[in-house]
Amino acid sequence: MSKITLSKARAALTGPIASIRTPFNRDGSIDFNGVRRMIDFNIAAGSKTALLTAGDSHFHCMTDDEIAEINRVMVEHTAGRAMTVACDWEFATPQAVEFARYCADIGADILMARPADWGSSTTLESLMEHYAAIAELIPLMFVNNIFGGRSEKFTIDATKALLARVPNMIAMKEDVTGDIGRKSCLLAHERWGVFSGGGLRNHLDMHPYGCDGFMDRHLNFAPKVSHRYWKAIQHDDLATARKVIQEIEIPLEDFMASFPGGRDAAVHGLIEIAGIAGRWRRKPYHSLTDSEMARLKAFVKRMKLMA
């Protein structure tokens, strides 16, 4: 069993956090050397957590064996330099239990648990049984956006039930925002380490309600942006925090959204420009062409993102 404590988890989830955006080779195979370079870059950039997520880490197009392997590589290469958050992927309870045992055996600190819920087919009781079973093996992280087809009441009731019934749940990725996000943070912050997904704006929305840190894509390629924002938050300088969002995050996100393949394709292009790994994503996902990369490089130069 991982020996991570709530205080250590909260500290590791405070400030900017970089997710591992799985790089691929041009032939579609996973670039594990690129994964290792990304972990090194993220830690050097100030991320106190090595974090896999189903979306950024491209679990949607991986086999179960590949998901297990990238979790192993992440823990092994991090080698105690940061807290490690493993991630599963919509497993049934028996498979989730076996995967939790595997993550504990390889030395992961926390498991981000994402139970199967196709068609909103679980109940509050069956979910609590699922989480409780895997929490016997490893500390857990709750992701509050996994109930996308549910009511606000269901998400809040699930949060309350987890707080009451699963003591080895110690962290939450707040990934909804709005009223659900605010209520989730208010409920959870005293008992769990809480961080926001989705960038600087989400964190600024949730920060007053008890949100310790934030996932930030800038940390993957331009960490000075992340730290400028975080320094402003630490000094309660909301004017500067807003300025970073207005002058950097929003223009960058709008520009990235203009590419075929959207923002994730562009982020992988930025990771290539930063010299960490190639732009490639596994088909059928689109990878930026040479002409699209030239456009992206011109924007980076104009914005002085990596200067």
**Segment 117-174, tens digit of pLDDT:** 999 999 999 999 999 999 999 999 999 988 877 889 999 999 999 999 999 999 999 9
pLDDT of residue 3: 85
pLDDT reported for residue 126: 96
Residue 148 has what pLDDT? 74
pLDDT in tens, 10-42: 999 999 999 999 999 999 999 999 999 999 999
Give the per-residue pLDDT at 150.
Answer: 84
Tell me the C-alpha distance between 18 and 229, whole Å. 14
Nearest 5 degrees, angle CA 57-CA 61-CA 64? 85
What is the reported pLDDT for 244?
98
Roughly how many angstroms between the first and final C-alpha of the chain, as a whole number? 43
pLDDT confidence of residue 86: 98
What domains appear along the chain, each with residue ranges and CATH number? 6-221 (3.20.20.70)
What 3-state class would DSSP assign to 86? Answer: strand
Low-confidence ranges of the chain (pLDDT < 50): none
